[in-house]
Homo-oligomer: A and B are copies of this chain.
Amino acid sequence: MTDPRLAELIRLIPALKLSVEAGDLEHHGRDWTRRWTPAPLAVAWPASIDEVQGVVRWASAHGVGIVPSGGRTGLSGGAVAAQGELVLSLDRMNRVLGFDPIDRTLTVEPGIALEAVQNAAREHALLYPVNFAARGSCQIGGNIATNAGGIRVIRYGNTRQWVAGLKVVTGTGELLDLNRGLVKNASGYDLRHLVIGSEGTLGIVVEATLTLTSPPPPSQVMLLAVPAMDALMKVFAEARHRLALEAFEFFTERALHHVLAHGAQRPFAEDHPFYVVTEFDAGDEKAEAEALDFFEFCLGEGWVTDGVIASSEAQAASLWRLREGITESLAPHKPYKNDVSVRISAVPAFMEEMHALLSAEYPAFDVVWFGHIGDGNLHINVLKPAELDNGVFVEQCEHVTSLLVETLARHGGSISAEHGIGLVKKPWLGSVRSEAEIALMRGIKAVWDPNGIMNPGKLL
Residue ranges of A at the interface with B (Cβ–Cβ < 8 Å): 100, 102-103, 105, 146-147, 149, 153, 157-158, 160-161, 170, 174-178, 180-191, 193-194, 196-199, 202, 233, 237, 341-345, 372, 375-377, 412-421, 425, 429, 432-434, 436-438, 440-441, 443-444, 446-448, 459-460
A148 to B, closest residue via Cβ: B186
Known: A344-B102, A447-B443. A419 touches B186 (CB 8 A): yes
A199 vs B178: C-alpha distance in the bound complex, in angstroms? 18
Shortest A207–chain B CB gap in Å is: 14
Known: A376-B182, A418-B184. A448 touches B440 (CB 8 A): yes
Q: Give chain B residues whose Cβ lies under 8 Å from the Cβ of A176.
A: 434, 436-437, 440
Say which residue of B375, B376, B419, B441 sits within 8 Å of A188 (CB atoms).
B441
Sample 15 A-B pairs with CB under 8 A, ordered by A number. Answer: A102-B345, A147-B186, A149-B184, A153-B183, A182-B412, A182-B413, A183-B375, A184-B372, A184-B375, A187-B425, A187-B429, A187-B433, A189-B198, A189-B444, A193-B193
Interface centre among A146, A342, A413, A437 (most CB of B within 10 A): A437
Q: Give chain B residues whose Cβ lies under 8 Å from the Cβ of A342.
A: 182
Known: A421-B187, A432-B187. A343 touches B182 (CB 8 A): yes
The number of times this chain is found in the oligomer is 2
A460 to B, closest residue via Cβ: B188
A332 vs B372: C-alpha distance in the bound complex, in angstroms? 53
Contact B437 A178 (CB under 8 A): yes
Q: Give chain B residues whose Cβ lies under 8 Å from the Cβ of A443.
A: 444, 447-448
Shortest A117–chain B CB gap in Å is: 19
Contact A184 B414 (CB under 8 A): yes
Contact A185 B102 (CB under 8 A): no
Contact A417 B186 (CB under 8 A): yes
Q: Give chain B residues whose Cβ lies under 8 Å from the Cβ of A377.
A: 183-184
A147 vs B199: C-alpha distance in the bound complex, in angstroms? 25
Contact A194 B197 (CB under 8 A): no
Contact B436 A440 (CB under 8 A): no
Contact A420 B184 (CB under 8 A): no
Contact B190 A194 (CB under 8 A): yes
Interface centre among A183, A189, A202, A421 (most CB of B within 10 A): A189
Known: A191-B440, A434-B177. A184 touches B197 (CB 8 A): no
Contact B343 A103 (CB under 8 A): yes
A180 to B, closest residue via Cβ: B412
Contact A433 B182 (CB under 8 A): no
A154 to B, closest residue via Cβ: B183
Contact B158 A184 (CB under 8 A): yes
